[in-house]
Structure 1
Amino acid sequence: MDNRITILGVDDRPENLLALEGVLSDLPYQFIPKHSGEDALRYLLKEDISDLAVILMDVQMPGLNGFETVKLIKQREHCREIPIIFLTAISTSMEHVLQGYSVGSIDYISKPIHPELLKLKVDAFVKLHQYRQRLIQQGELLQRRAAQLEDINRKLKSAEALIKSQYDHLEIKVQERTKELREANESLRLSQERFEKMFTASPCLMIIRRLSDMACLDVNESFKQYTGYGDEMIGTDSGILQAAPCLNEGESYDLHQSFYNVKVKYVTKQGEIRYCLVSNEVIEINNELCSLQVGLDITDKERYESEMARLGKLNLIGEMAAGIAHEIRNPMTTIRGFLQLSKETGRNLQQEYIDIMLTELDRANGIISEFLSLGKNKTTNRSHHHLGHIVQSLIPLIQAEGVMSGKIVREDCSDTGTLLLDEKEIRQLILNLSMNGLDAMTEGGELSIRTYSIEEYTILEIADQGSGISKEHMAKLGTPFFTTKDKGTGLGLAVCYSIAARHQARIEVKSSDKGTTFLVRFPVKVGGHDNV
C-alpha cells in the first residue's frame, strides 16, 4: 500500500465506511474513515493533508450534512482544492445534483455504489492529484532555480558595482571633501561676518573675555560710548560690568555660567554711576572658552521711573493738601464770620454762637486727628484679643444704627483664637466699614458681619447689599479725602487701610451690582495667634 496517498471517507454509518474500505482495499492507497462532518473538519484542520487525493462524502448525515460540511471545507485556503465526490441514496434529481456542484463537489455517485465505477473514479482523481503534486514540485524546483539565478545575478551586479565603486571612490571622496571644506569655509565666513556686524552695530554694551585669565579680548562701540573706556581695556582683566548685582550687595556672578538680565550698576570713566541689565553666554573662540557679556543700559529708564514715582507722590500730596484745605476751610469760615459779626456790632457773642464755633473747631480738630491717624509710624498698644469678641461688643451699636435707617444687621463670629490687636483701632476699623455698608444700602438691606479662619489667616468679612462700587471708584479706594458721600471727609477708608497696614493685614474688596464685600485678612503668624 502506498502510504503517501490517502482517501478520506465520511459517512455516519460504520457499515458504509467498511464497504467503502473493502471496495478500495485492492488499490494502493490509505483509506481514512470519519463518522461525521465535524470529525472530517477536525481532521482537515489538525493533520497533514498534502497527500489527501480525494474525499468521499455522504450527503445525508446528522449534525452537519454533506452539503454543509463541503461548504465549510471550501472556505479554508489549505483544503479548498481537494476534489470531493458526493455519495447519496436520497435523490439524483437535477436540482439535487446542482446543489452538490454549487457547494464545491467534483462528482456525484448514487447508492448502491458500483465498486468498479468507484475504483475508476477514485483512481482517476488520485492520478490527477499525483500530476498536480508533480506540477507543484516542478514549480517549486523552478522557483528555487530562478532564485538561485537571481542570487547569482545579484552577486554579479554587486561585484560590478563594487568594482565601479572602488574605481570612483577616490574621485568621489575628493569631490565631497572639497565641497565640504568649501561650504564650511563659506559658513564660517558668513557667521563671522554676521557676528562682527552684530557686535559692532549692537546698541547693547558687549564685551568678550577669555575665561582662563579674564583678559578682555574686544569691546563694541556701544560699550565705548556708555562707559568711556575703549581700546585701553584690551588685554587687561579690568571688569566694568563685573560689579555686584544691585539686589545682592557683596555677591558676584560667575562668568563661567550662563545668566540673564542681572541688574548691576557700573561706573563710567567720568565717574558717573549707571545701571545695566547684564546677560552672559559661554562661547568658544579659537578653541578657547570665552565669556560674552551683553548689557542693556537702563539708567534713563530708572531715572524716568524714579521721577514718575516722585511726581506721583507730589500729586498725592497736592490732592491731600487740597482735601485738608477744603475740609478745614468750612469750619474756619463759620468761626471767622461770627467773630467778624461781633467786631462790627460791638456786642458780645451769644452763647449759641459760641457753641456753634466750638462745634466747628471740634470738627476741624477731628479732621486733623483722622489725617494724623494715617501715619505709618503711629504707635499701637497691642495685646491678645479675640476678633469675634470685639465684633460682638460693637453689634448692639451697629444694630441700633441699622434699626434707625430700616436695615438689618446679622453677625456670625466663630472662635478663631486670639491675635495681637490694638482694640481701639480694630473697633474703629469695624465701625467705619460697617457704617459705610449701612450707608450704601436702601431700606430693607442686610449687612452681614462674620469672622472665620482660612489656613493661616483670620478673616473679618463685612458684606452689604448695596448697588456696588464702580470700577472707576474701586481704583481710588483708600485714597485720603476721596469720597462719594455728600458730607463725608474721605478719611474713613484711608484710616481703615492704615490700621490694617499697622497690623500686617490686607484688605480685599469684591463688588458687584448685588453688593460689596470687604475682607480683612489678618495673618495668624504675624498677628501672634496662640490658639486659645
Structure 2
Amino acid sequence: MEMEQQVKILAVDDRYENLLALNSILASSSYDVISLQSGEECLRYLLKEPADHIAVILMDVQMPGLSGFETVELIKQRKAYQDIPIIFLTALSTSIEHVLRGYHVGSIDYLFKPVHPKMLRMKVDGFVNMHLNHQKLKIQSELLHKRTLDLEETNRKLAEAEEKLIQQNVLLEQWVEERTTELVDAHQKLMNSQEHFKKMFILSPSLMSIRRLPDLTYLEVNESWKQYTGYGNEIIGTNLDLLSPESDGNINLCDILHNEKVKYVTKSGEVRTALLSTEIIDIEHDKCLLEVAVDVTESLRFESEMARLAQLNLVGEMAAGIAHEIRNPMTTIRGFLQLFRENDRHMQREYIPIMLEELDRANDIITEYLSLAKNKTSYQKSESLNRIIESLLPLIQAEAVMCGKHVNGNLGSCPDIQLDDKEIRQLILNMCMNGLEAMSVGGTLCIETYQDDTHVVLLIADEGTGISAEHLEKLGRPFFTTKDEGTGLGLAICYSIATRHQATIEVNSSSKGTTFMIRFPMQAV
C-alpha cells in the first residue's frame, strides 16, 4: 500500500523570527510546517504542490512585494486552492476595515499578534483534523462510487437473468396449463418465488438473516451480514442476539418486531448502529423471522461531527461579538485613565461622568447577553396581554410622534395567559422600536391582538422596506445587526423571551413591510 503524503501547513511571513516562532508553536509529528518568506514564494510553492496536501495557510498581512491580501486574492483565483482555509496574522492594524477585507478576500480567520500559542495550535489542529476527515471522506466516496458501479453491474446481470427467467416462466406456465394440474402449477410458482428470494437474500447489500421461531435460532445469514458483523457460518444453529434493540437488555420477539434502530457488536468488539426491519415469513411450513438491517454507523458519525463543528462555529461568532462590543467602552476608559496619569486632577470632574457612562454601557451589553439564557428565571402569572400593550401604547405613540410616524392599535378580545410582565414589556418595546426605526416619515406601525383555536396572537407590522432573504436567515442570532450603533441583542432577547413562554415567532417580509406574529399558547405546556 502506498504511504500517504503527510499534511502540510504553510507559514508565510517576511520576518524569519516570526517563522521560527510559528514552527516552535506548531511543531508536530502529524504535519509539516513549510516556512515561506513572501507572497511570491508562497505562490511558487503552490504551483508545484497538490492542493490536497495543504491543510491550512497562515498568512502575514504586511509583506514587501505582494501583501497578504493580494497573495490570497491570487490563490483564490485557482479553483484547486479555493477551499484551503487561510488565517491572517497581523500585528499592525486591528481596524474592522482590515478584518472585513481579510474575510472578503477569502480568509476563514483573522488573528492579531502576539497570537496566543495554545489558541493558534488548537485552531490549526482543528483545521488539520478537518482536512484529514475530508480526505477520508473523499477516499470513502471513491470506494462507495466503485461499489455502486459494481452493484449496478450486478443489478444489470440480475435483470438480464430475471428477464430470461421470466421468459422461461412464461413458456413453463404455458406448458403447465396445457399438460399439468393446478396443483403442479401452484407448486412451480412457489419454487420460483423461493428462488427469487434466495438470489435477493444472497446479493442484498443489507444485513439479512433468517431465524427460526420461537427460539430465534439462526438458519441463514447473507454475505453482507457476515462482512459487517465478522461472524460466519459458526453462528448458524445458535441464538446469539447481535442486532439487539436499544433497551434495558430484556429482549423479546415484540421488541424485535417493532424496533427500528439497533446496536450490534461485531466479532472484533466494535459497536455499530443499524436500522432494522423485520417480517415473519413461512419457510417449508415453519414460521421464521426475516431480519433486514442497513448499517448507518458512518452516516451517524458524519452527522455528529457536522453538528459539533456547527456548534463550535456559533460559539466563535458569539465570542467575537461580545469582544467587539465590550472593547469599545473599555478603550474609552483606558484613554481617559492615561490622561489622568499625565495631567492634573481637575480633569476628573469633566471626564468621570463619561467613563461611568461607558462602564454602564458595557454592563448593559453584558446584562442583555445574560437575558439570552434559556434557564433564566421567568416569573410568569396569569396576565392580560392587552393590558400590558395598553400601558405601553402612550410611550410607543410618543416615540412615533417625535419621528413623524403613526401607531395603530387594534386589540381584540383575548383570554388571560401565563406571562412574565417585565419580559413581555421588553419584547413589545424592542419589536415596536425596531418597526419604527425601519419606516420612513409618515409610516404606520400596526399593533394587533386576536385569538385563534389554541393561541393568543400578537401581531406587529411596519411599513418599512422589508428584510432581505439573506438577513432573514440570521434574524434572532446574537450580535447580528444592520444598525450602525446596535448591539445585535434586541431581537435575540425577544426570541429568548418567546422560548421561555413556549411561544413561537413567525416573520413575513416584503418590500412593503415586515410582520412579526408572536403566538402564545393559551395553556402552558
TM-score by length of 1: 0.61
AA matched with 1:350: Q
AA matched with 2:493: V
CA–CA distance in 2 between the matches of 1:408 and 1:281? Answer: 67
- Check whether the contact 2:211–2:288 (CA below 8 A) recurs between aligned residues: yes
CA–CA distance in 1 between the matches of 2:318 and 2:480? Answer: 9
Q: Does 1:227 align with 2:225?
A: no
Report the Cα offset of residue 427 of structure 1: 0.3
- Among residues 167, 177, 180, which one is paired with 2:180 in the alignment? 177
AA matched with 1:254: C
- Among residues 253, 275, 278, which one is paired with 1:277 in the alignment? 275
Report the 3-state secondary structure (helix = DSSP H, G, I; strand = E; otherwise coil) of the residue aligned with 2:205: coil
CA–CA distance in 2 between the matches of 1:409 and 1:376? Answer: 32
| 1:279-428 to 2 correspondences below 5 Å | 279-345=277-343, 347=345, 349-428=347-426
Which residue does the alignment assign to 2:516? 518
| 1:185-204 to 2 correspondences below 5 Å | 192=194, 194-204=196-206
Which residue does the alignment assign to 1:443? 441
Report the 3-state secondary structure (helix = DSSP H, G, I; strand = E; otherwise coil) of the residue aligned with 2:474: coil
Q: 1:454 to 1:174 in 2, by over 3 A?
A: closer
Q: 1:183 to 1:459 in 2, by over 3 A?
A: closer
Report the Cα offset of residue 489 of structure 1: 0.7
Which residue does the alignment assign to 1:205? 207
Which residue does the alignment assign to 2:242? 240
- Check whether the contact 1:388–1:451 (CA below 8 A) recurs between aligned residues: yes
Q: Does 1:456 align with 2:454?
A: yes
Which residue does the alignment assign to 1:501? 499
Q: 1:223 to 1:175 in 2, by over 3 A?
A: same
Q: 1:176 to 1:424 in 2, by over 3 A?
A: same
- Check whether the contact 1:449–1:462 (CA below 8 A) recurs between aligned residues: yes
Report the 3-state secondary structure (helix = DSSP H, G, I; strand = E; otherwise coil) of the residue aligned with 1:475: helix
- Check whether the contact 2:210–2:289 (CA below 8 A) recurs between aligned residues: yes
Report the Cα offset of residue 352 of structure 1: 2.6
Report the Cα offset of residue 283 of structure 1: 2.3
Report the 3-state secondary structure (helix = DSSP H, G, I; strand = E; otherwise coil) of the residue aligned with 1:526: coil
User: Deviations 1:106-158 (Å, cap 9, x if unpaired)?
Assistant: xxxxxxxxxxxxxxxxxxxxxxxxxxxxxxxxxxxxxxxxxxxxxxxxxxxxx
- Check whether the contact 1:243–1:252 (CA below 8 A) recurs between aligned residues: no
CA–CA distance in 2 between the matches of 1:249 and 1:485? Answer: 57
Report the Cα offset of residue 234 of structure 1: 0.9
Q: 1:502 to 1:250 in 2, by over 3 A?
A: farther
Q: 1:180 to 1:311 in 2, by over 3 A?
A: same
- Check whether the contact 2:208–2:224 (CA below 8 A) recurs between aligned residues: yes
- Check whether the contact 2:176–2:185 (CA below 8 A) recurs between aligned residues: no
CA–CA distance in 2 between the matches of 1:256 and 1:274? Answer: 17
Q: 1:398 to 1:498 in 2, by over 3 A?
A: same
Report the Cα offset of residue 255 of structure 1: 8.0
Report the 3-state secondary structure (helix = DSSP H, G, I; strand = E; otherwise coil) of the residue aligned with 2:180: helix
Report the Cα offset of residue 325 of structure 1: 0.7
Report the Cα offset of residue 496 of structure 1: 0.3
- Check whether the contact 1:382–1:420 (CA below 8 A) recurs between aligned residues: yes
Which residue does the alignment assign to 2:84? none
Q: 1:391 to 1:173 in 2, by over 3 A?
A: closer
Report the Cα offset of residue 201 of structure 1: 3.2
Report the Cα offset of residue 194 of structure 1: 4.5
Q: 1:345 to 1:352 in 2, by over 3 A?
A: closer
Q: 1:420 to 1:267 in 2, by over 3 A?
A: same
CA–CA distance in 2 between the matches of 1:415 and 1:174? Answer: 77
- Check whether the contact 2:245–2:261 (CA below 8 A) recurs between aligned residues: no
Q: 1:348 to 1:378 in 2, by over 3 A?
A: same
CA–CA distance in 2 between the matches of 1:377 and 1:252? Answer: 41
Report the Cα offset of residue 354 of structure 1: 1.2
Structure 1 stretches lacking a partner, 5+ long:
1-171, 528-532
Q: Which deviates further from its counterpart, 216-225 or 496-505?
A: 216-225
Report the Cα offset of residue 330 of structure 1: 0.8
CA–CA distance in 1 between the matches of 2:465 and 2:357? Answer: 34
Report the Cα offset of residue 221 of structure 1: 2.3
AA matched with 2:179: E
CA–CA distance in 2 between the matches of 1:313 and 1:244? Answer: 27
How many residue pairs end up in the alignment?
351
Report the Cα offset of residue 388 of structure 1: 0.3
CA–CA distance in 2 between the matches of 1:233 and 1:522? Answer: 58
Report the Cα offset of residue 347 of structure 1: 4.8
CA–CA distance in 1 between the matches of 2:374 and 2:515? Answer: 25
- Among residues 214, 220, 230, which one is paired with 1:218 in the alignment? 220
AA matched with 1:211: L
Q: 1:353 to 1:219 in 2, by over 3 A?
A: same
Report the Cα offset of residue 276 of structure 1: 1.1
User: Deviations 1:378-412 (Å, cap 9, x if unpaired)?
Assistant: 01112221100000100011111101111101112
CA RMSD of aligned residues (A): 2.8
AA matched with 1:372: L
- Check whether the contact 2:245–2:255 (CA below 8 A) recurs between aligned residues: no
Report the Cα offset of residue 376 of structure 1: 0.6
CA–CA distance in 2 between the matches of 1:409 and 1:176? Answer: 92
- Check whether the contact 2:386–2:414 (CA below 8 A) recurs between aligned residues: yes
CA–CA distance in 1 between the matches of 2:345 and 2:492? Answer: 43
- Check whether the contact 1:452–1:458 (CA below 8 A) recurs between aligned residues: yes
CA–CA distance in 2 between the matches of 1:256 and 1:297? Answer: 16
